[in-house]
Structure 1
Amino acid sequence: MDVAKVSAPLGRDAECVALERVLEAARGGHGSVLVLRGEPGVGKSVLLDYAAAIATGFAVARAAGVESELELPLAGLQQLFGASLLDRAAALAPPQRDALRVAFGLLEGPVPDPFLVALAALGVLTDAADEQPLLCLVDDVQWLDKTSVQMLSFVARRLTAERLAIVFAVREPNEERVLGGLADLTLAGLNDHDARELLDSALPGGLDQQVRDRIVAETRGNPLALLELPRGLTPAELAGGFGLPQQAVAGRVEASFLRRIEALPEATQRLLFVAAAEPVGDVTLMFGALERLGIPPDAISAAETEGLISLEARVRFRHPLVRSAAYRAAPAAVRRRVHAALADATDPSVDPDRRAWHRAHATPVPDEEIAVELEQSASRARSRGGMTAAAAFLERAAELTPDPGQRGTRALAAAHAKFDAGATDAAEALLTVASSCPLDELQHARVDRLRARIAFTRTRGSDTPAMLSAAARRLEPLDPELARETHLEALWAAVRSGRFARAEGVLEAADAAAASGSVRSIDLLLRGLTTRLARGYEPALPAVAYALDVFQEEGFRHENIAWCWLACQLAMDLWNDDACAAIATGLAATARDRGALGVLPFALNYSAAHQLFAGAFGVCEQLVHEADTITTATSSVPIADFAVLLAAWRGDRERTFALREAAIAGGTARGEGFAVEVGEWAVATLHLGYGEYAEAHQAAQRAYDHDGLGFNVWVLPELIEAAVRNGDTAAADLALTRLAERSSLSTTPWARGIEARSRALLAGGDDADALYREAIEQLSRSKVIVHHARAELVYGEWLRREGRRVDARVQLKSAYAALDEMGAAAFAERARRELAATGETVRKRSDDTRDELTPQEAQIARMARDGLTNAEIGAQLFLSHRTVEWHMRKILGKLGITSRRELADALPEREAELMPVP
């Protein structure tokens, strides 16, 4: 269609230009997204129609959220895909293809991870866009099921080099900022001039000036209100200006539609209700219900003439408010009869879940048979990864259960499902229902546990460890395995809360429960952790080491993934950098394979820490960036990451302080002590790099607030160096004692080297010289390359002060070269100044004139260097293959090469030697 011949909606020139730009970008191979926001009737749907009309050369796929399907998983995505797009799933990699088919109920299989389904959705849409530019229009997102919103949000945030455009329309205001972070455009009402013109077009016979001005003012330029309100006014109101009802625009517009519906023949009103209650718009199903209700099919004519509904491939209402007005117009008894007819017309072998849903709305009284059907629907939804739908089915099942005891059981199951789906308010309300029913002691204990988990999820407050511990104690005689897992959750809450935790009795209760002889890795971790916290570092070594061995041998099973953070923390506590790196890397790889984006950010951050200490700052930045991107895309709670520490090592003062303030504010608000400690640790490192030892000493003391699990491994060496340089040998001696209590029990090069370096700082003469040499030798065999370079730096500084300038230059040159190469700017400058003091002239490295790769480009380049195809890279990084291809073109240009075969030589040699990036 010629765009020039498509008329822009009145008063929406700027919005139309924005839509044209979205299409033009997609047509040129630059995926584009736009979210239209605004109140009901402001013209969002009209603009979607305009986009469809001007999308010359595009395939167009459409979907619209429906309030009654809000709880049905993937209803929106299925509507958008239709048969033609779904057929493309056959070309996906088997894990993605099967995940999508299981999620859509087309294949039996284990519960697919929702983000593996999202990756499949991305593959389907980008594959279609390869063949022909694709425009996806999604209306009424506020009524789209949560799972579909997550999937489409995931896709929208990964459009880079695809011929794909997505335009969403979402009602504002709404409780959540749906699709936050995407490019958006908020629609206001029309200006007065355009509003009057639109109103005049709806009433060509003329309108009293005062009435017209009042309508324009009260509708605030809302186009649908301007068109609909006058239809409900009497001639006297139009002529004399008697008062219009003072309601919200949505209410006034819906009331106007309601008046028009009530003026239709009764059979047509009933037909509209049937169509409204059958949200998919299935024509066959609607006519099947009409037949059962004795409503003639030609009753639709009056509604079509009135412009309220149209019968095409699917039934379409003129506006969602027409649907809601039609649904609410029917008395409760009529609603039940219509839902019953729709249930009878629905084939139970094809769509048992929608049939059960209609049956549930058709009954006015509790019905055990329907409740059982809803339970079965919940089970099917859960097997497809539709936890939101499972929760909705279980909630309705509880409402329809006649037996009080069974009602409590189902309400408790629904509460757990709501919690797993992220609906904590609804979960808490269902717990209240369950508590009012006769429950057995185990169920009461499970209620307590879920209340505590909800509290921790909401606030991570200092009281939640005690709440979880109390629930665990209540569970002990009833479900010992669940009790031990709950004790571990209580300790997790206490450890992460750190300085904010109020955990009296929590450790003692967990310690007693850990005496079980179970050999599950979760139980072994509990035993190791309680021993470490209750009896100290040395007594815990055998139990912790054994737990880590079993954990790694078992691999990354579903139940283990949730505790990988603890395994990494315990490995750090043992100075076992090999185990920690292996767990973090293995978890990241497993999470990628499964599309487990809820877990992946944690794995990426632990991997980032090890890449940072391996001196691979670029790799670290890429991993942290990817973790942040996934957290944003999944709307997850931000995690305390290592971006602040990376900034500190790079000597970026402004960024370090900004990230530190954010970490402390967020950590304090959430009650997460770890975030506060990381922020202070980073500032201590920054000041050490700049030689600001008094400030570094203060920050390190703030970071080392208590004996944090695994944390003293990192902070105590910084505290010792800062205290020594600041002249506070007493503080340094105390910190060294604490460090040696742990490091002396380890044989790893990391532990031995850090202890030797720390002792050397407090020693003198030959003892210091021998200790510095031992530190450098040990750390050279570890993965903590940055600390090897810093050992050379402090040794060189000591040698210069001892007057051994020639020897000092050897150490300082090596330190400077390593620190400068990895990008530790402040420490490198400290080494350069020391070299200058020995009489050695060292030039600052000039900026590389070649464009640097971004973190994501560097990651893609390394994967391509290792032989992965674009499709394989895309699958691991949750990108489309076209986006990877686009990045590869930029990478080759920046590196000044023409083919992937040259990547091995073009990438820095140091990066080529690093351990594989997960």
Structure 2
Amino acid sequence: MPVTSENRASGLRGRDVECAELQSLVANVGSGVGQALVLRGEAGVGKSALLDHVAECAESAGFRCAHVAGVQSDMELAFAGLHQLCAPLLDRMNELPEPQRDALAVAFGRGVGPTPDRFLVGLAVLSLLASAAEDRPVLCVIDDAQWLDQVSVQILGFVARRLVAEPVGMVFGVRDGGPADLSGLPDLNITGLTDSDARALLDSVVMGRLDERVRDRMVAETRGIPLAVLEVPRNFSPEELAGGFGGAATRPSAGQVEESFVRRIRALPTDTQRLVLAAAAEPVGDPALFLRAAAQLGIPVEALTAAETAGIIEFGARMRFHHPLVRSAAYAAADPADRRAIHRALADATDPHLDPDRRAWHAANATAGTDDAVAAQLEASAGRAQSRGGVAAAAAFLERAAVLTADPGLRGARAIAAARVKRDAAAPEAAYKLLAIAELGPLSALQRAQVARLRAQIDFVRCRGGDPAAPRLRQVTARLRGAAEQLDPLDEEQAREAHLEAIAAAMYAGRLGDEGALEETAAAALAALARTANLHRPVDLLLSAMATRITEGAGAGSAQLRAALEAMCAQLERSEAQPPRWLSLGLAILAESAAGELWDDALMDRMAGALVRQARAAGALAALPPALAYHAGVQLLNGELGTAATLLEEAASITAATGYAPVRYHSLNIAAWRGDATEALRLIGNATADAAARGEGRLLGLTDYASAVLYNGLGRYEEAFACARDGCEFEDLGFYSWTLYEMIEAAVHTDRHDIALQGVRRFERQVGASSTGWARGAVAGAHALVADNDHADELFRAAIGHFGDSAVTVHLARIELSYGEWLRRVNRRGDARQHLNAAADRFAKMGATAFAERAHRELVALGAKIRNRPVKSGGELTAQEGQIARLAADGLTNHEIGAQLFLSTHTVEWHLRKVFVKLGIRSRRQLRTVAWTS
């Protein structure tokens, strides 16, 4: 783009490419295409000037603009940045759906209610922006995003990823590195000016003579950083600029722009410096609050004139520093005593009813030693922050409260509470430090046990999250069990939860854990349970049932398992707020494994559906990815591999946007069933490496199962047998018997008849206690594989009949295939062709290409002509389009679909228009009458 007079007038010399990019964004948003852009670069490189430029362009195009700039002193206040950004748009709040409106009201302190999930708040912000954009396009300008509070930047990153069909733009300015929540968004790297542009800029701001060689040195030293170039006249004397004469000792090093601001501020009168410091420490920019603080300090506001004259600050409708670096420089220029005095004045000037949290935070920063009254205010602020979903803010308040508490016992209790919230905020190192503070004081036996449990919980999360410095799972299992035993005589409910956590850790450790650790952990739980008869919570029932199953073997505790799972489903179905506590810390593995042990597909489907519905209704994105993965596993069993993959794609998109640990397990199974050896083996190889690094033996067991499925589908039976045999060396609850079935089939195909017979006997012991159609079909099918010709036919038919009473289509197709293979061997060619065709059709429709080809090979051996069957592999609609189409076909409104999928209504409408075009239909009603793939 040619250099325009507009760019020159704005002082944006040398920024033609960047301006063109920003003007293109404004044009795209104005035409109805949502867009986000992150400007990245070092301090002073010109990001703020570019943000001002894009805001001017947008305003001249009739946009509505919302602004916020991150401030270091405000980083611990949950939703502070988001609230400032949304404040001009809150007149549209009543137009939001009630759950979103309530969540936003609670988050911004305008209402009371259950703690909202931060991403339900994110959906509310997306809806708010979309609503505001109905009148005219909206541009959100976010400067210094690295200094926004954690919740705000996470939500804004979440919203930015969902701008599709709304005339809404978001432009962020962030220093190099910046918050991880913005990674993956389109970005524009802002670097220093070219030498020629830097020389021209320097010439424009130096009034006197500028020696050419000095100019070249200045350009080199400032590295083309615009703010450094603009500060040259203030940092060098006319003599130095004219010929390099004068003292060099006072010159700043290259790029130290902030130091020049510090010197300018320290040159101001003392009262002016104190007012500038007050403005720097007060992030809202409220002139009324500033005037009250000035009165508290006894300084006339006219003292600020010197700072305005020096180009430091503007005092108008809002307090505004000329550059974000000036604010940090003003704070850095003050000594600690002055900072405390300023924060005390700001605390006294802040309304305790309208803004108690910021008042408490200022009071904390005003305190040099301990102050129990301020600590109590911070503790109250932490409670309010948690009720708004501000976990990081609550942790910061509690951490500071612990430091300010004089009483050692109370300090320990507050440090433990702060550590617990730091754990929830995914800040393990800070949590460890707080636990160390707690241990410095006197702790009760219960508090010592709580500290031990917290340490073990944090270790578990770090280990499963892939932290290379975390202890391995076998060590975590021992620590959780030790914490549970400490809690046993002190707090029964906490103890039972800790025992359940220990069992979960032992199950994850699996074959890589200490020998006998799972059984010993379960026995310890049963011993604790024997001391109480008050087992009323679903988690208590699950603990009792799983511990019984582990210690007594297959079939034991089945009635208890069923009762526990039904109680959990009922709890999920009646819950209207956050997911139950048992979903935290990986305990969902126990519920999923219990359902697998029961071989009850209906109960699995009920549990998975309840998990997903509850997590969606609560907007709980921490719980939603594992719930979606569980549901994907159920859909796989039902033969809906495309739907399962779509659910996993949604889970992956959420974990990518939120930074939560990605779900790993079910993607292996889908790849194995699809039969794409290259992709499946890649995933299996990666999972094997991850499992070894973390000491997660359960994942190794799953890779063996997935490998066996893959190789059985491909007809590579020797490899299938080897993998299944390795998988069966440890009893991984929930899928061990599935692996056993794969070993039986591979053994039959490799003439290991004795091993197959032994496997069937083991399989019947594992599954025979269940009376579901799935279980009875699986047992009959296993017997059919090893039966002689006189009995096999009856067993195969029985298996097909039982599977017909369930929804597990993949196993029905498998038994049809096996029956067809047997029929061909006994030369019943017509019957064989019938069942092989049925199996091939089922596998082709579900996208299980390897098993479909295995059936085709059998048909070719019969002399049949194989027609090309379309294999479902993604189809015409994208995964998201297919998901939206299904929900629309089920009768959900666009608002309801958007709420489920965390999309705006406009984006749902946009996708549906594309669906209609692709399917050649005109109405939602027609979605129920047409078929599509996704």
Distance 1:247 1:457, change over 3 A: farther
Identity over aligned residues, as a percent? Answer: 50
Alpha-carbon distance between aligned partners in 1 of 2:724 and 2:880, rounded to the nearest angstrom: 32
Report how far residue 6 of structure 1 moved: 2.8
Is the counterpart of residue 638 in structure 1 residue 658 in structure 2? Answer: no
Which one-letter code corresponds to 1:885 in the other structure?
E
Q: Deviations over 1:817-858 (max 9, x none)?
A: 211222222211221221121122121125899961112111
Alpha-carbon distance between aligned partners in 2 of 1:880 and 1:289, rounded to the nearest angstrom: 42
Matches within 5 A, 1:216-255: 216-235=219-238, 237-238=240-241, 239-240=243-244, 252-255=256-259
Is the counterpart of residue 65 in structure 1 residue 70 in structure 2? Answer: yes
Report how far residue 727 of structure 1 moved: 2.7
Do the aligned residues in 2 keep the contact of 1:411 with 1:433 (CA within 8 Å)?
Answer: yes
Alpha-carbon distance between aligned partners in 2 of 1:204 and 1:310, rounded to the nearest angstrom: 24
Q: Deviations over 1:347-369 (max 9, x none)?
A: 11111111111111222221111
Distance 1:208 1:728, change over 3 A: farther
Alpha-carbon distance between aligned partners in 2 of 1:864 and 1:61, rounded to the nearest angstrom: 34
Moved more, 200-209 or 809-818: 200-209
Which one-letter code corresponds to 2:502 in the other structure?
A
2:747 corresponding residue in structure 1 = 723
1:435 corresponding residue in structure 2 = 439
Is the counterpart of residue 533 in structure 1 residue 550 in structure 2? Answer: yes
1:7 corresponding residue in structure 2 = 7
Report how far residue 624 of structure 1 moved: 1.0
1:554 aligned residue (558, 568, 571): 571
2:831 corresponding residue in structure 1 = 807
Alpha-carbon distance between aligned partners in 2 of 1:215 and 1:718, rounded to the nearest angstrom: 73
Matches within 5 A, 1:373-412: 373-412=377-416
Distance 1:416 1:787, change over 3 A: same
Alpha-carbon distance between aligned partners in 1 of 2:3 and 2:320, rounded to the nearest angstrom: 25
Alpha-carbon distance between aligned partners in 2 of 1:805 and 1:394, rounded to the nearest angstrom: 75
Report how far residue 255 of structure 1 moved: 0.6
Q: Deviations over 1:246-303 (max 9, x none)?
A: 98866x1111001111122222211110100101111110011112212222222222
Which one-letter code corresponds to 1:554 in the other structure?
Q
Alpha-carbon distance between aligned partners in 2 of 1:731 and 1:195, rounded to the nearest angstrom: 79
Do the aligned residues in 2 keep the contact of 1:472 with 1:487 (CA within 8 Å)?
Answer: yes
Moved more, 239-248 or 447-456: 239-248
Alpha-carbon distance between aligned partners in 2 of 1:237 and 1:723, rounded to the nearest angstrom: 88
Alpha-carbon distance between aligned partners in 1 of 2:758 and 2:871, rounded to the nearest angstrom: 43
1:472 corresponding residue in structure 2 = 484
Q: Deviations over 1:388-422 (max 9, x none)?
A: 11111111111111122221221121111211111
1:308 corresponding residue in structure 2 = 312
2:895 corresponding residue in structure 1 = 871
Which one-letter code corresponds to 2:204 in the other structure?
S
1:292 aligned residue (277, 292, 296): 296
Which one-letter code corresponds to 1:335 in the other structure?
R
Moved more, 293-302 or 614-623: 293-302
Gap runs ≥5 in structure 2: 465-471
Alpha-carbon distance between aligned partners in 1 of 2:362 and 2:302, rounded to the nearest angstrom: 24
Is the counterpart of residue 573 in structure 1 residue 576 in structure 2? Answer: no
Moved more, 259-268 or 481-490: 259-268
1:201 aligned residue (201, 204, 214): 204
The SS at the match of 1:105 is coil
Alpha-carbon distance between aligned partners in 2 of 1:729 and 1:26, rounded to the nearest angstrom: 68
2:285 corresponding residue in structure 1 = 281
Which one-letter code corresponds to 1:614 in the other structure?
N
The SS at the match of 2:180 is coil
Alpha-carbon distance between aligned partners in 1 of 2:501 and 2:873, rounded to the nearest angstrom: 51
2:609 corresponding residue in structure 1 = 585
2:844 aligned residue (820, 843, 846): 820
Distance 1:244 1:52, change over 3 A: farther
Is the counterpart of residue 904 in structure 1 residue 928 in structure 2? Answer: yes
Do the aligned residues in 2 keep the contact of 1:229 with 1:253 (CA within 8 Å)?
Answer: no
Do the aligned residues in 2 keep the contact of 1:142 with 1:178 (CA within 8 Å)?
Answer: no
Do the aligned residues in 2 keep the contact of 1:575 with 1:713 (CA within 8 Å)?
Answer: no
Is the counterpart of residue 514 in structure 1 residue 529 in structure 2? Answer: yes
Distance 1:197 1:441, change over 3 A: same
Gap runs ≥5 in structure 1: 912-918
Distance 1:851 1:741, change over 3 A: closer
Matches within 5 A, 1:310-459: 310-459=314-463
Which one-letter code corresponds to 1:832 in the other structure?
H
Is the counterpart of residue 755 in structure 1 residue 773 in structure 2? Answer: no
Alpha-carbon distance between aligned partners in 2 of 1:849 and 1:71, rounded to the nearest angstrom: 47
Do the aligned residues in 2 keep the contact of 1:397 with 1:410 (CA within 8 Å)?
Answer: yes
The SS at the match of 2:794 is helix
Moved more, 134-143 or 181-190: 181-190
Q: Deviations over 1:862-917 (max 9, x none)?
A: 11112111111111111100000010011111111111121111135x99xxxxxx
Alpha-carbon distance between aligned partners in 2 of 1:679 and 1:692, rounded to the nearest angstrom: 16
Q: Deviations over 1:455-501 (max 9, x none)?
A: 11112422101111111111111112101101111111111232333
Q: Deviations over 1:51-81 (max 9, x none)?
A: 1111112111111111001000000000101
Alpha-carbon distance between aligned partners in 2 of 1:233 and 1:798, rounded to the nearest angstrom: 93
Is the counterpart of residue 191 in structure 1 residue 213 in structure 2? Answer: no
Alpha-carbon distance between aligned partners in 2 of 1:815 and 1:717, rounded to the nearest angstrom: 18
Report how far residue 574 of structure 1 moved: 1.1
1:916 corresponding residue in structure 2 = none
Which one-letter code corresponds to 2:731 in the other structure?
D
1:915 corresponding residue in structure 2 = none
Report how far residue 40 of structure 1 moved: 0.8
Matches within 5 A, 1:705-716: 705-716=729-740
Alpha-carbon distance between aligned partners in 1 of 2:689 and 2:48, rounded to the nearest angstrom: 41
Distance 1:11 1:728, change over 3 A: farther
Q: Deviations over 1:637-659 (max 9, x none)?
A: 11214223222222222221222
2:468 corresponding residue in structure 1 = none
Is the counterpart of residue 798 in structure 1 residue 812 in structure 2? Answer: no
2:813 corresponding residue in structure 1 = 789
Do the aligned residues in 2 keep the contact of 1:42 with 1:187 (CA within 8 Å)?
Answer: yes
Which one-letter code corresponds to 1:180 in the other structure?
S
Alpha-carbon distance between aligned partners in 2 of 1:756 and 1:341, rounded to the nearest angstrom: 80
2:96 aligned residue (88, 92, 99): 92
Which one-letter code corresponds to 1:864 in the other structure?
A
Report how far residue 553 of structure 1 moved: 3.5
Do the aligned residues in 2 keep the contact of 1:6 with 1:53 (CA within 8 Å)?
Answer: no
Alpha-carbon distance between aligned partners in 1 of 2:339 and 2:356, rounded to the nearest angstrom: 20
2:79 aligned residue (74, 79, 95): 74
Alpha-carbon distance between aligned partners in 1 of 2:212 and 2:765, rounded to the nearest angstrom: 88
The SS at the match of 2:165 is coil
Which one-letter code corresponds to 2:508 in the other structure?
R
1:914 corresponding residue in structure 2 = none
Which one-letter code corresponds to 2:522 in the other structure?
L
Which one-letter code corresponds to 1:488 in the other structure?
L
Q: Deviations over 1:307-363 (max 9, x none)?
A: 221223311111221111111212222222211111111111111111111111222
Report how far residue 86 of structure 1 moved: 1.6
Which one-letter code corresponds to 1:635 in the other structure?
G
Moved more, 468-477 or 229-238: 229-238
Report how far residue 732 of structure 1 moved: 2.7
2:508 aligned residue (476, 496, 511): 496
Report how far residue 237 of structure 1 moved: 4.7
Moved more, 230-239 or 709-718: 230-239
Which one-letter code corresponds to 1:112 in the other structure?
P
The SS at the match of 2:134 is helix
Do the aligned residues in 2 keep the contact of 1:465 with 1:493 (CA within 8 Å)?
Answer: yes
RMSD: 2.3
Which one-letter code corresponds to 2:228 in the other structure?
A
Which one-letter code corresponds to 1:777 in the other structure?
G
